Amino acid sequence: MRRVLIARLSAVALFLIAGVGQGQQLPKSVAIGSNPPGSLFYALASGLAKVVSDSAAIQAQVQPYAGTSTFVPLFDSGELDFGVVNAVDMGMVYRGANFKVGGRNPFPHVASSRLIMRGSPLRSSFIVRKDSPIKTLADVKGKRATGEYPAQLAVWYNMLGALSNAGLGWNDVKVVPVPAVNEGVDALIQGRADVTTHAIGSAKLQEAEAAVGIRFLSLDCTKVGEERIKKAIPGYYLSTVKGGSSAGILQDICAYTYDIYLVGHAKLPDAVVRSVLQAIWVNVDKLPQFHPGFAEWTKARAVDPEVTIPYHPAAARYFKDAGVWSAKMDDAQKKLLAWKP
């Protein structure tokens, strides 16, 4: 009985915490930046917006852009409230040009970036047409691979990471320039490229499967393969995707993996952060109905000491009240906030 009472009081406390500031003139709506329609991040942003709009005193709307690099500067200007992004990109965005991955950091420096919630892991690998003679990573050498990605810089790192896992680099393939990830898949469909990448489970891959048939290649999940990809792209790791789980996954494969974030910025009012976070936290079990990519968007993954940007202070306080913020997290937060570009 005592445990039930404590649980109820905790739930009431979180509700009241989220409610503080309801009289502080919350905006009628907030915008969540994402990658273009057809991408995984657009689908995830749409699901989050739906949950927030249904449960909070704020309406949330998805605002698609070409890619992370095009919308994160809007955090500094206050033109955008939130965004669905990946951990590797945001580590470079937050730290600035002196922090390089793959020998470069082409992202705009946005020191005001703040983490709201750590979400699902993103998994992917190289994609070829189903009838392609390319069967292994080694077969990619000398082939036409999509590259450059000026509008969606994250995908340049995706491709580099997969190449590095095989002991290859950009000089080992014939680069087919494309602006962003969807255009990379278009190049594969049209026969202009032999190899590309895209998030597993995205709507764009369903389109490619219907058009020409696709097949994911398996990366190298050995210790050597993992060391290669981690050295090339800090923040990446490897995991297994079960065969038949999505278009193009014909058998179990090893995939490059990194975390997806819901981010905001330092100037977001505490009440806005609490309202949005409370809506997601309470309804996190409803998210998978909107997209399979939410299967691992859980309370257990929300807080982690290895995140690449600091949490918004209102998010940190919320997680402390929820009992999921440890002393180790305090140390990680202090270290991230002390970063000097």
pTM of the model: 0.83
Round to whole Å and give the CA distance between 159 and 74.
26
Q: Write down the CATH number for the domain with range 124-258.
A: 3.40.190.10
Round to whole Å and give the CA distance between 147 and 138.
18
Q: 265: Cβ–Cβ under 8 A, 6 or more apart, which residues?
A: 75, 76, 78, 81, 110, 112, 113, 114, 312
Q: 14: Cβ–Cβ under 8 A, 6 or more apart, which residues?
A: 278, 281, 318, 321, 322
State how beta strands 126-129 and 214-216 pair: antiparallel
Structure tokens at 237: 């790791």
Round to whole Å and give the CA distance between 2 and 38.
49
Round to whole Å and give the CA distance between 232 and 230.
5
Per the listing, tokens 């750590």 go with: 118
pLDDT at 67: 83
Fold of 2-121+259-337: D-Maltodextrin-Binding Protein; domain 2 (3.40.190)
Q: Across-strand partners of 83?
A: 33, 263
Give CATH 3.40.190.10 domain extents, the chain. Answer: 2-121+259-337, 124-258
3-class SS letters over 198-254: CCCCCHHHHHHHHHCCEEECCCCCCHHHHHHHHHHCECEEEEEECCCCCCCCCCCEE
CA dihedral 69, 74, 76, 82 (to 10 degrees): -90
Q: Return per-residue pLDDT of the chain as tens, 341 residues.
A: 444 344 434 444 444 444 444 445 799 999 999 999 988 899 999 999 999 999 999 999 999 998 888 899 999 988 999 999 999 999 999 999 999 998 999 999 999 999 999 999 999 999 999 999 999 999 999 999 999 999 888 899 999 999 999 999 999 999 999 999 999 999 999 999 999 999 898 889 999 999 999 999 999 999 999 999 999 998 899 999 999 999 999 999 999 999 999 999 999 999 999 999 999 999 999 999 999 999 999 999 999 999 999 999 999 999 999 999 999 999 999 999 999 87
Per the listing, tokens 């032999």 go with: 194
Alpha helices (H) along 78-172: 87-95, 154-165
